[in-house]
A and B are shown apart, each in its own frame.
Chain A
Amino acid sequence: MSLAIAGMGWVTPLGSGVDSVWDKLLYGHEASATTISEQFGDRSYSAFRVPESVMAGFAHPRLRRASVISRFAAAAGLDALRAAGLEPGSHNGERTALIFAISNGGVIYTKRFYSNIVESGAQSASPLLFPETVFNAPASHLAAILGITGATYTLVGDGAVGLAAIKMAEDLMANETLNRCLVVGTEEIDWLLCDAYRRWRLLRSSPPIEPFSKQQRGMILSEGAGAILLAREGPFTIECAHPGGCFSKRAEAGDILRQILSDLSETQIDFVISGANGTFVDQAESEAIGQIVPDALVYTGKPALGESVGAAAVWQVILAAQALRSAELPPVLQAYPAVTMRLSHSRTSMPGARRAIVLSCGVNQQAAGLRLAIQ
């Protein structure tokens, strides 16, 4: 069974709106880094945040106490629905499923809630904050806003979770009673996340992200949301959502990636949207791409947009769709000069490009892929 993409929504550190963000990427823009500090932390970190101006004016009664992760998701979800010509309430809420892909969830409110407990004891725990610490809080807000009354799922995972969500959507849509499935990937930044990824030796202190570099200097975190509305018909077809698998050690990631690429490249592939982010992921992906689809052009958007973890794979799918639509790839920023792949070093035209692979290797043992085609 194949699925179509009927609409997309995008909230990123480079702004919101699919076409607007895409234009910036084509012109080689890189998000501005913000310095994040914490009162009790002895370090500052750089992160690509969604500019305040992007969310200014976006309001909904349901979101008045919600964290930014829910606001990003709602903005992207509404855009995806509207791009398909739908409005909240205009679709059948029982026949639309919602799948959220998240990694760290509402970390800002979780930290605030737990901080009160650590500082002042259990008596100070806030009943208003606690519900927002639950992983499915953003999904429940969006379901309420869109009037979705049927299946709502929140999937938790690493950078590949967005593709797992699309695979789940494919499984759900096997049920003919469903008309659509909205898949939303989202992430919010906090100092605590930056500190955690730094201690995990995956983060660098300041930009740039240098994809495919031998030094693997690390990633810069980012935030935002991506939403794709899956339907029976639409301009893009997800020909195959590959479930991938789990690897026990980083060194084993390449085996799963090779299998994914091998399974997805049965037909001619024009380009690959990689998840390369300046970590061990880059080597695993570049080796697998070099072995299985050496002729495909390769692009990663992470030097420009940052590593948005829970949102990352959905962003990659949006990148693939836009590249197919416009028949060109943006330049890969900060690319290691000696890389041997067919990297999109500059804005690259791809006349007649019809198929792309989205490849995602997460930093916490999950990998997946999909093949996207334009009608």
Chain B
Amino acid sequence: MMIQALKEVLAQEPRFEPELTVIGTTSGGMSYGEHYYRSLRQAGDLRRAPTWIANYPAQKPVVDAQVAFGISAPCQVIANACASGTNAIGHAFECVRSGRYQRVFAGGYDAISELVFTGFDSLQASTPEKCRPFDRHRTGMVLGEGAAVLALENLASARQRGAPVLAEIIGYGISTDNFHITQPDPTGIGAQQAMQQSLESARVSAKEVDYINAHGTATLFNDAAEGKAISSLFNGVPVSSTKGMMGHSLGAAGAIEAVICLLALQHQFLPPNINFGALDDHLDLNIVANKARPAVLRTALSNSFGFGGTNASILMRTFEA
């Protein structure tokens, strides 16, 4: 998945030479670890064990993808649970904005593994039903998998190369709420701080945000806390979680959803929050229910929150030459 994502971004920008690659993941090569452990435990065939072991480390898919395209840039692999992808893009953005780097690849990847699937099931966070973010009858998340990579570049450098600019990243917020290792602070303070920071970082007001791509996992705890946080900062901004369509791809989610925001800005539409019946009675949100609709968008916010109380938000804006 990492190779495919990198291939696609390099097909659009073949001359992009990163000085740094920042990628988020939650479970790395866990499925390789599972093969190894099962074979050990059940006295199975271990002839492929060295391959499984070599592919287990979380940085391996990133290094392999770089090697496949002749890139040797240093890698920072961020494992901040489900916020990893947004953290990777946010940190890469800060690296470029500070002037310390000109070009950075940023994104996320994750593949479904038995351990992770069973883990979320053991927490009763996942559902065998449809994923219904922010719905009053939501029953939990559905896992997904995938990868996405963005090429971030200093504007002057991109202009000098004549590179097409798809959108701007203008703000990043990160917070740690320390409430519980698997549950967000129910007041939504952690999410609120991350969103507020991203606004301050971008020097824009909440009124200027035209769309919010919510973390919206459809778990009772996340959607309640995130919904409170959104309504405390924003008044009637269209909100959707796209996880009903693609599932929750954990460390990849923030990167995939950043691409969704980018497409929404490019094509001027609001992505839908599918499987939506009626809003949770305790929430006050303007949900983009079930169908995409055209809209005039200039600024979009994307949220990702994870275990350990880690919260991340990025702000993106249409590029005006």
Contacts and interface: CB of A to CB of B under 8 A. Distances in A.
A172 B172 CA distance: 13
A116 B87 CA distance: 32
Interface residues of A, number: 68
A155 B98 CA distance: 21
Is chain A's binding surface mostly helix, strand, loop or mixed? mixed
B309 A140 contact: yes
Most buried by B among A125, A136, A167: A136
Interface string B74-88: 111111110000010
Contacts of A201: 50
Given A136-B310, A140-B176, A171-B98, A200 B53 contact: yes
A177 to B, nearest CB: 10
B308 A134 contact: yes
A114 B115 contact: yes
B123 interface: yes
Interface string B19-51: 010000110100001101110111000100110
A195 interface: yes
B94 A171 contact: yes
19 contacts: A103-B57, A117-B118, A122-B118, A131-B182, A136-B81, A136-B306, A148-B178, A150-B175, A152-B176, A154-B79, A156-B59, A156-B78, A157-B58, A164-B74, A192-B40, A197-B53, A199-B53, A246-B75, A366-B74
Contact of B123 (A127, A150, A244, A364): A127
Interface of B: 20, 25-26, 28, 33-34, 36-38, 40-42, 46, 49-50, 53-54, 56-60, 63, 66-67, 72-81, 87, 91, 94-95, 98, 100, 114-115, 118-124, 174-178, 181-182, 193, 306-310
Contacts of A131: 123, 181-182, 307
B310 A243 contact: no
Nearest to B250: A134
A156 B176 contact: no
A256 B54 contact: no
Contacts of B58: 135, 156-157
A27 interface: no
Most buried by A among B36, B58, B119, B121: B119
